[in-house]
Structure 1
Amino acid sequence: MIKHIKPYSLHIAAVVLLTLGGIMLELLLPTLMANVVDIGIVNGDMPYILKTGGLMLVFALAAIILMTGVSFFASKTALGFGRDIRRSLFINVENFSLQAFDKIGTASLITRSTNDVKQVQDVLNMILRMMTRAPLMLVGGIIMAVTREPGLSVVFLGALPLLALLIFIITRKAIPLFVSLQKKTDKLNLIVRENLTGVRVIRAFNNENHEKERFEAANLDFRNTGIKVNKMMAVLFPVMMIVMNFTSIAIVWFGAVRIDQGVMQVGNLMAFLQYSMMILMSLIMLSFGFIMIPRAKASMDRINEVLKMENDIADPEYPKNEQGEQGTVEFRDVTFRYAGAEKPVLQQISFTAKKGKTTAIIGSTGSGKSTLIKLIPRFYDVERGSVLVDGIDVRDIPQEELRAKIGYVPQKASLFSGTVAENLRYGNEEASEEEMWEALGISQASEFVREKEEGINLMIEQAGANLSGGQKQRLSIARALIRKPEIYLFDDSFSALDYKTDAKLRAELAKVTKDATILLVAQRVSTVTDADQIIVLEEGEIAGIGTHQELLAENRIYQEIVSSQRAEEEGA
């Protein structure tokens, strides 16, 4: 975190200097008040009273101006720090591998980027405004009090250890609860996020009551932990006030005795009483700081976990430039398993997809089809073997350069809030309107876009909520086409299309991708029949490679897939 604080060193220095100036002026006020009483009032010296009183007003006004400056610089530092932390988190998360996302979780990342940053930001603001003020006020108050009445200062010897012990006990108990509270915030956010994104499924299965119970359980758990923390804070303030009030009573009592003995003046007692209140108020400010800092520390640790997380997929230190045949994708004895998995998802996968050819991948659910596709743009790194693009291992190609060669259409169509044009330009920022309409035409999306009055300026809601599944898939395909890459990766990208649209799209696709390499994951046999080679996957292993006719004649698993789909069609 320190590197994010450094840019605000001048602001922090200004806070410290302004605070010091303001406190020095405040510490002079009780002394001036004592002089007004002991010199001005006792001697009936009105000019002295007016002169000293005017000086007190000037000092008070100057202190207010200085403390206003403290608030300004403290707020500017804290808000700037929060902005910088959020930016660093966002940039770091953008570079995460998919395994890093899986490890922390989306709900937790959102909490860390919002709630946790807010906690740290608020505590930094408090530290700059209170925690710099409190120690200076404490030390200054003790010096001024001891200087005026050393004998009466003994009263503090009883009060200060009590307050310090109370702060220590509460801080020690608060830290685990604050850590737990942030974890419970993660859980609450996860449930809320699942309910908002899955509202249609929840209603379709009449599971509203079950989800209410889940939310209620997490909400009550969060509330109960929050109550425990706030009970501690609720106890702290009254106990401190009791200690302060008894300290004041003791000061007045012993001060009255000393005045009666003629060793102390009334003005000195009034000044000493004010200094004692300054000292005790400083301790209260410190105690609140010590309570809030553990919560900020819990949040800071969670933020640092993300900032310190090294991306396990890094660009090569020495990229390779020599290339083989352009557009070629080759798997050489590839084995891959997800983090923490006992069994590999893919085992000993070897094949070559060549330029101008279509390689289709088919198999049962969970056979590893989508995982295989994700290894090409290096969303994951292989455990053994190698994936080659243009004859170079993908680990030896800079990620930006590698992905510039690829047009990827994910299994779940992912669109962003904005216009159709903005979503298409995600594939190519320089795309002209003509190129966009061409891509929409090939992907069979131009018809429904033209039907809309706005055309390519049609607004798409978050995650494409105002579009059907098929429309989202077609726009995703258009986004990949507009990129005009060497390699197209279609990860079950035609599943939401009817057979007629599917056939039209593949026919148009064949015309514009004849010089590109196509890897196509599909569930339907009809989608892969025209492929130059079909790879049949079974439990993460290649069960057969060949054309549709070859596999239909020789491969048992492919025959079972074909016959099961024919039976479904005939039944329908």
Structure 2
Amino acid sequence: MSAVAGTTTGAGADRSPEGQPGGRGEPEEPGGSGAPEASTPPSGASDPGAPGPAGMAGATGATSTTGPSPLRLLLARVRPHRGVLVRAGLLSLAGSAAGLAMPLMAKYAVDAFAADRSPVAPLIALTALVLAGACLSAYGRYLMARTGEGVVLRARDQLVGRIMRLKVPAVDRLTPGDLQSRVTSDTTLLRTVLSSGLVESFNSVLMLLGTVAFMAYMDLTLLGVTLVVIVGIGAVTALLMPRIQRAQLRAQESVGAMGAALDRVLQAFRTVKASGAEERETAAVARAARHAHDRGVSVAKWSSVSDVTMMMSIQLAFLAVLGVGGARVASGSLEISSLIAFLLYLFYLMGPIGGLVEGWTGLQSGLAAVRRIDEVESLPGEPAEGSGGSKGGGGPLRVTFQDVTFGYGDERAPAHKGVTFEVPAGGMVALVGPSGAGKSTVFSLLERFYDHDAGTIALEGRDIRDWPLAELRASLAYVEQDAPVLAGTLRENLLFAAPDAPEERLTEAVARTRLDALVARLPEGLDTAVGHRGVTLSGGERQRIAIARALLRRPRLLLLDEVTSQLDAVNEQALRDVILELAAQSTVLVIAHRLSTVRHADRIVVLEDGRVRTAGTHEELMAGDDLYRELATTQLAAAEVQEAQVQEAR
């Protein structure tokens, strides 16, 4: 076994916080340290109560002023459903059109009464129009609502699929709560804009034209009076629409920020409780909720002004028509029945005008939602190559880092500055170094969560960028430092990376990772739900589940990031034996701060300040490297105590 390493110094910064040597070796405790650390909000959300989510645009480089217009994006989402929408629109239009004849039938009924004729025929016609209009409108609205649900479902499917294909850097800079808001709340608004924004607005325009035509048939003079009043006030309403659109966008952003603030607390719930920070965090979420409330009130204010303005135009038009029409009736130039019919049409006009105002307001909400959805879909994604699943096979992989440079793109110093080392195929190599040395970054680059800036990373002599992502990740297994467990059953978590693994392999993995006692204790065994983020499990149990998951995957390269930090001495020894056995079948690269883990490695690579400081065996480094000796001696006493505990347990 050999490892090539350069000896340099510099200032680096690792992506993930790494524990200091000697920490976290405590025995397992039920419900143990599973909560994520810290209450520091993600970039762009330092104050949960601040306006907006510091912006998806700021975090991703996207802006709301580039790319296709929101209206074009909205129409693109509606286009696949245009056939159903046309049918639904025509049905609704027919139902509304049936109502257009009602004032005319009312005129004929009044004339019949005045002429002492039977009003039965006009009344029967009125009844038939009411029933026909109701049936047609009801079915049209049902089709519209069903299509709206289809648009929402399609948008959610596409958005979730896109999120799953996003590159890790893009997701790292976002907040889960805001993403959830875009998938749930923003997509729901598409239903509203479809029914009341597009189709209803189109129908309202046609109904408005039809109503105006009937009013013109009744009396052109009264129509002129009506249009002067309505158009004048309508112009004022049109000026309010840009304000409504801006208010809607800000309101939706503030809802996303509130979700992010709440998610921040829930992700570190135990830390919040243990720190006595409930009141502070409650106040922070309350500030975000208050901000969302204020933005919602702003939307309500401008929408109310718009609605009332248009309704006032109808009322003023009614007064004007009543005055002018009454004078014309008195002069004998207009029949009383025609005035009654005209006034009915005037009130009927409220429907199309109200539909236009509501549709335009809904359209603003929909455009804001489409813009926020498009911001996610515009983020850089990984190629859609399908899932690597549990496929793998082949022998252990040889890993080569040659003069690799990498930075996270923010203001921190580069995490890697010319990193060079080699991991031979088979066996176990350990990475050690102070916090921030760049150890976890090695794993992120191997998994291609991030792409290195310069240099070469190769597996079996093949540049890592030439590997299809699905093939690459199917050849690797990554056991993360916090050993995440997903909501679901224990079986689902164990088979997460290898869903097709047979039952005998699952049973073997459970036994090798000493999870059989846990399975026996659980009421439904492997089919017991483990709770959100594995809240019912101890930290050590979560780590053993993560290792068992990796064993079932049968990787060619196993990446272990401080995987025994929460195990007691007996379980650590057992898991160490399993890892050593696995090293005979695949390559194992392990990050550890505990001497008891790294001293069994075939080779140790020491990282410092983003560079490789040196490499060698434990004995060689103890004799020849001051930094390694310092790291090792800080843990030596704890390791000796643990070894004694193992011997005593045996």
**Cα distance in 2 for residues equivalent to 1:415 and 1:562:** 31
Displacement after TM superposition at 1:421 (Å) = 1.4
| 1:194 to 2:264 alignment | yes
Would you say the 8 A contact 2:192–2:362 is kept in 1? no
Distance 1:528 1:386, change over 3 A: same
**Cα distance in 1 for residues equivalent to 2:383 and 2:177:** 22
Displacement after TM superposition at 1:89 (Å) = 0.5
Root-mean-square deviation (CA, aligned residues, Å) is 2.2
Displacement after TM superposition at 1:107 (Å) = 2.0
Distance 1:563 1:419, change over 3 A: same
The 5 A counterparts of 1:466-545 are 466-545=536-615
Would you say the 8 A contact 1:107–1:189 is kept in 2? yes
| 1:9 to 2:91 alignment | no
Would you say the 8 A contact 2:427–2:588 is kept in 1? yes
Counterpart in 1 of 2:116?
A: 44
Displacement after TM superposition at 1:570 (Å) = 8.5
Displacement after TM superposition at 1:516 (Å) = 0.4
**Cα distance in 1 for residues equivalent to 2:523 and 2:262:** 35
Displacement after TM superposition at 1:344 (Å) = 0.9
Displacement after TM superposition at 1:163 (Å) = 3.0
Would you say the 8 A contact 1:313–1:380 is kept in 2? no
- The equivalent position to 1:413 in structure 2, one of 483, 495, 506, is 483
Distance 1:268 1:228, change over 3 A: same
Structure 2 unpaired stretches of 5+: 1-72, 387-392, 643-650
| 1:104 to 2:174 alignment | yes
Q: Render the CA deviation track for 1:484-543: whole Å, top value 9, x for unaligned.
A: 111111111111112332122111232244120001011112101111111111111111
TM-score, normalised by the number of residues in structure 2: 0.83
| 1:71 to 2:141 alignment | yes
Displacement after TM superposition at 1:409 (Å) = 0.8
Counterpart in 1 of 2:241?
A: 171
Amino acid of the structure 2 residue aligned with 1:132: F
| 1:549 to 2:619 alignment | yes
| 1:404 to 2:477 alignment | no
**3-state secondary structure, aligned to 1:448:** helix
Q: Render the CA deviation track for 1:3-54: whole Å, top value 9, x for unaligned.
A: 432331221110221123223211111112112222x1222121xx211211
Q: Render the CA deviation track for 1:467-490: whole Å, top value 9, x for unaligned.
A: 000000000100010111111111
Counterpart in 2 of 1:184?
A: 254
Equivalent residue pairs, number: 563
Choose between structure 1 and 2 for higher RCO, CA contacts under 8 A separated by at least 6 residues.
2
**Cα distance in 2 for residues equivalent to 1:70 and 1:452:** 53
Say which structure is richer in helix: 1
**3-state secondary structure, aligned to 1:339:** coil
**3-state secondary structure, aligned to 2:325:** helix
Counterpart in 2 of 1:566?
A: 636
**3-state secondary structure, aligned to 1:132:** helix
**Cα distance in 2 for residues equivalent to 1:291 and 1:20:** 21
Displacement after TM superposition at 1:166 (Å) = 2.8
**3-state secondary structure, aligned to 1:151:** helix
Amino acid of the structure 1 residue aligned with 2:113: I
Counterpart in 1 of 2:359?
A: 289
Counterpart in 2 of 1:62?
A: 132
Displacement after TM superposition at 1:342 (Å) = 4.2
Displacement after TM superposition at 1:153 (Å) = 1.1
- The equivalent position to 1:445 in structure 2, one of 505, 515, 525, is 515
- The equivalent position to 2:196 in structure 1, one of 126, 129, 137, is 126
Counterpart in 1 of 2:503?
A: 433
Q: Render the CA deviation track for 1:412-471: whole Å, top value 9, x for unaligned.
A: 111122222111111212222221121122222222222334222222111100000000
Displacement after TM superposition at 1:242 (Å) = 2.9
Counterpart in 2 of 1:363?
A: 433
**Cα distance in 1 for residues equivalent to 2:641 and 2:502:** 46
**Cα distance in 2 for residues equivalent to 1:357 and 1:560:** 26
**3-state secondary structure, aligned to 2:173:** helix
Amino acid of the structure 2 residue aligned with 1:365: S
**3-state secondary structure, aligned to 1:459:** coil
**3-state secondary structure, aligned to 1:305:** helix
Structure 1 unpaired stretches of 5+: 317-322
**Cα distance in 1 for residues equivalent to 2:639 and 2:430:** 21
**Cα distance in 1 for residues equivalent to 2:587 and 2:638:** 32
Would you say the 8 A contact 1:99–1:339 is kept in 2? no
